[in-house]
């Protein structure tokens, strides 16, 4: 089970932000071969992207998280596509430093409340965002970003819900990442373009490191 704790939502948000350490792009990874997990995490970390999200979309995702947590101390590994409290606990036990979910449910909120591992839940409607805010969460995933209205939608939320910040994910790449990062309520973006499937399968870690360096050079507008 996940480690129990009594931290407030606000303190957990601050812990999550400390883990991300101002990183502008969070790699969202779907790893199909366990053997790729460690060299991929090392290449991304060398490129400046230490915080990574390994999604639970493959049978060996938890083992990938375990290996990265044990063998790549320079990386901050998180788990994504968490849909239930049981998955939350499994991912935390595997060594995840943060948990990412595409949505928000009472079950997940309860699991996060009882754990020291911070949760980054997804929310796209004003109602979902307000519900998360009432639960003490003011840093949220906005997913699927492009399909849900993109940067224009997030810009419209910046005034009425000014105290909530986002990590948009979904349909974001090098051509539009800067549009999101220019918004006052966006702290970082998530994307898979820094680790293309063909480069991962071929073990072309130097090229992935170069993509990571380019992504880490993206910065928030002052």
How far is the C-alpha of 158 from the C-alpha of 165, rounded, in Å? 9
Q: Can 53 be counted among the known catalytic residues? A: yes
Coil/strand/helix, residue 208: helix
Which of 12, 53, 90, 97 is flagged as catalytic? 53
- 98 in the Ramachandran plot: left (φ > 0), alpha (ψ -120 to 50) or beta? beta
Structure confidence at residue 219 as a pLDDT band (50, 70, 90)? confident
Tokens of 127: 């109602």
Q: What is the distance between the alpha carbons of residues 122 and 104, in angstroms, rounded to a whole number?
A: 6
| pLDDT reported for residue 109 | 93
pLDDT of residue 180: 97
The three-class DSSP label of residue 108 is helix
Which among 50, 97, 141, 209 is annotated as catalytic?
Answer: 141
Domains of the chain: 9-210 (3.20.20.70)
pLDDT at residue 57, rounded to an integer: 97
**In this structure, what is the dihedral angle of CA atoms 15, 16, 19, 22, given to the nearest 10 degrees?**
-110
Residue 5 pLDDT level (bands cut at 50, 70, 90): very low
Cα four-point dihedral sign 124, 127, 131, 134:
positive
């Amino acid at each position: 089970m996940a480690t129990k704790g009594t931290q407030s939502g606000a303190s957990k948000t601050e812990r999550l932000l400390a883990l991300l350490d101002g990183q502008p792009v969070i790699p969202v990874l779907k790893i199909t071969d366990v053997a790729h997990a460690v060299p991929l995490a090392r290449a991304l970390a060398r490129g400046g992207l230490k915080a990574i999200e390994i999604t639970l979309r493959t049978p060996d995702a938890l083992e990938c998280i375990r290996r990265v947590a044990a063998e790549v101390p320079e990386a901050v590994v998180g788990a994504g596509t968490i849909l239930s409290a049981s998955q939350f606990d499994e991912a935390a036990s595997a060594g995840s430093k943060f948990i990412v979910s595409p949505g928000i449910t009472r079950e997940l909120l309860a699991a996060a409340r009882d754990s020291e591992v911070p949760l980054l839940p997804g929310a796209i409607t004003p109602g979902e965002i307000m519900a998360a805010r009432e639960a003490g969460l003011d840093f949220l995933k906005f997913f699927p970003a492009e399909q849900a209205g993109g940067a224009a939608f997030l810009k419209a939320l910046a005034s009425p819900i000014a105290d909530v910040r986002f990590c948009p994910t979904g349909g974001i790449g090098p051509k539009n990442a800067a549009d999101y990062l220019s918004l006052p309520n966006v702290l970082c973006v998530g994307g898979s373009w820094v680790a293309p499937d063909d480069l991962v399968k071929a073990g072309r870690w130097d090229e992935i490191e170069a993509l990571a360096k380019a992504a880490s050079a993206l910065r928030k507008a002052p």
